[in-house]
Amino acid sequence: MKKLRILCLAHEDLVPPDRVPTKFHNEEWRTENYVLSTLRGMGHDAEILGVRSDLGLLRSKVEELKPDIVFNLLEEFHDQPLYDQNIVSFLELIPIPYTGCNPRGMILSRDKALARKVLTYHRIPGPDFGVFRKGRAIRRPKRLSFPLFIKSQVEEASLGISQSSIVASDRDFQERVAFMHEKHNTDVIAEEYIEGRELYVGVLGNERLTVLPIWELLFENMPEGAPRIATRRVKWDAKYQKRHGIASRAADGISPDLRARIEGMCRRTYRALGITGYARIDLRLKASGEVFIIEANPNPEIANGEDFADSALAAGFSYESLLQRILSLGLRKSA
């Protein structure tokens, strides 16, 4: 393994402290710390740069350090979550190799309506949907029947997603769409609500793809009748997770046929959206065996101990070898 000079790129607020305490749990910088310390432990010469809105800083750091590659952990710029895709374009223009997804894959995946349109062309199943623009009249087309799932067209991390995202009447529909327009200031998409199991599938690669084991988010202690969806609290509130038995692990009882179908859908989704590097595909599986792609997440969370790294481990990739693979994919776009 060649020793590399690596510049980790992260948000200014997520740069780990110089002296990291030996024990830490949910610190916001834990992903950055895992990546940085693991790369160093592997013998690479790794440094981290925190940025918020200064492109000049990024450029001069790259010129000064002359890294072999940028390890891209940035998820926003100028406080805009969508601008991370432009930073990747900037890295291409410098030019400097980087890990993770290319700009086009990020643009296509992040816009949930655009992604769904592309996937529909490729006959990859997903929920039927409509787009409701901010500032326009909110009228439900007849083809969309209840229950519907209301979410932002571009937000991530379940921002704005709660039990009230599921609506079953025109009144609730109007209210929730208007609420999302106001509160989150984005266009909104309303999707057919898919009742079923929540699955996550990691994919790695540029051309030849590796599909990681199918992972499932389990709701082992939810109140009777409560919908099993990944709300903001389900994803991020440790106490809530404990109380409601939220856990994730390799999905049980998936037949070889179903597994092959899910893996095929994930590969096709990854390719159709032009993703490179690594991504996590979110799916829902109905009791009937029908599978729906919910969304594709390029550059997903890669903290050690989170779903992507855990499913990689189950496939035999230690955390070190996962990061090494991500680096190699970034260095050889055709790998």
Which residues are near Mg ion by CB under 5 A? 282
Q: How far is the CB of 303 from ligand ADP (least distance, A)?
A: 16
Look at residue 149 and give the partner it binds from ligand ADP, Mg ion, none, a contact being a CB closer than 5 to 8 Å depending on partner kind: ligand ADP
Closer residue to ligand ADP in complex, CB, 1/226: 226
Look at residue 263 and give the partner it binds from Mg ion, ligand ADP, none, a contact being a CB closer than 5 to 8 Å depending on partner kind: none
214 scored as a contact of ligand ADP (CB under 6 A)? no
Q: How far is the CB of 330 from ligand ADP (least distance, A)?
A: 23
Answer for the pair 177, 188: CB distance below 8 angstroms, yes or no: yes
- The token pair at 258 is 């179903």
Region binding ligand ADP by CB under 6 A among candidate stretches 85-93, 147-155, 269-277, 316-324:
147-155
- Separation between Cα atoms, residue 99 and residue 325, nearest integer Å: 10
284 scored as a contact of ligand ADP (CB under 6 A)? yes
- Separation between Cα atoms, residue 204 and residue 199, nearest integer Å: 17
Instruction: Give how many residues touch ligand ADP by CB under 6 A.
Output: 19
Closer residue to Mg ion in complex, CB, 37/240: 240
Closer residue to Mg ion in complex, CB, 27/301: 301
Q: How far is the CB of 146 from ligand ADP (least distance, A)?
A: 12
* Closest residue to Mg ion in the complex (CB): 282
Rounded to 5°, the CA angle 150-275-195 comes to: 30
Closer residue to Mg ion in complex, CB, 282/306: 282
Other beta carbons within 10 Å of 281: 27
27 scored as a contact of ligand ADP (CB under 6 A)? no
Name which of residues 184 to 203 contact ligand ADP (CB under 6 A): 191-194, 198
Closer residue to Mg ion in complex, CB, 294/327: 294
Name which of residues 237 to 256 contact ligand ADP (CB under 6 A): none
- The token pair at 37 is 């310390």
Answer for the pair 187, 178: CB distance below 8 angstroms, yes or no: no
- Site residues for ligand ADP per CB under 6 A: 127, 149, 151, 155-158, 161, 191-194, 198, 229-230, 282, 284, 294-295
